Amino acid sequence: MTSRHSDPSPRNTFHQGLPLNPAPRSQSIVESIYSQSQFSESSDSTAASSIDDAHPRLLRPGVYVPTVTFFHEDTEDLDLGTIATHAVRLAQAGVAGLTTQGSNGEAVHLTHQERKLVTKATRNALDSAGYQSLPIIVGCGSQSTRETVELCREAMTSGGDYALVLPPSYYKAMYKPESLVEFFEEVADASPIPILIYNYPGAVAGIDIDSDVITKLAKHPNIVGCKLTCGNTGKLGRIASGVDAVTPSEDGSGFMCMGGSADFTLQTLVVGGSGIIGGLGNIAPRACVRITELYKAGKMDEAKKLQAIVARGDWAAISSGIVGTKSALKTYYGYGGFARKPLPRPNKQEADKYASGFKELVELEKSLS
């Protein structure tokens, strides 16, 4: 298979060539420069200004973190300062990239303008801290082809490099067999940035895109990857083999075949996947990265031991959702706040329970710092 997915997007909207792991500047640079009043519709091109039109920020195998969106506890307004410093903390841990507007980012609770603000704050924070080459994937799923393309365009102007797209599901009963294929192809045709297919049946009325469909869609030059939160490693292996996915040791076609949860990081790599996009990275990015490093070094026994701890921690995240993740961030790292209503705010007993579920993992994380 040719390496078409390693080539720049048709619209060439990215930047490449800077060090993958630059020395970070002080976090104080980004802690105080973000306030919602600083961003407006007139500044849409600001976050993308550091992008060289001739080259993309290429995706590389590894761990990508779908970042949490933080709010001020009293008003529920975006807390752009915390969003910025959290992004830098993750970059310093060695992750391969970040994802905004995912499930962990409460995208469904945000307006279009707020989505843009979050991505801008993330991009500007990374650039200010010396991580100009770190790519950002932006969640752009919507119920219509038209709005999905609009979100892809807004993602680009806000500093996003790639779009992560869920299939529409509200009118699921009325779709024809070819409807989803046409949806992804039409979005990919119109999007100014490359897209990744997001297969997450739990979020889209049970729609589970099979390996044949994803392998077919992978032939589109502007579809460069997939995220499988379905947890089906058999499907992941079939897709990875069918598209010659990039792995930590092989460039392949450049197509990114990603697991969607940290609890099967090692399994993803063993069957030929490219890495993960996992929300647990908000709590323990170094632990997730360490598994990929051990796998690449051939240290499977050590990798399996870490994977077991990460899997137990990920169950705490899966069972408690974004409410538990934010609570654990507050307990162990001093920031996190609450999700937007109508999601509940945990009481002390619930917060203690969440903290207990993450305790073993956070101890591992701190030992790796």
Q: Which of 227, 235, 326, 330 is catalytic?
A: 227
Tokens read off for 333: 């790292």
Residue 197, beta-bridge partner list: 165, 226
Q: Phi/psi at 145 (nearest 5 deg)?
A: -60, -40
Residue 227 is a catalytic residue: yes
Which residues carry out catalysis? Answer: 227
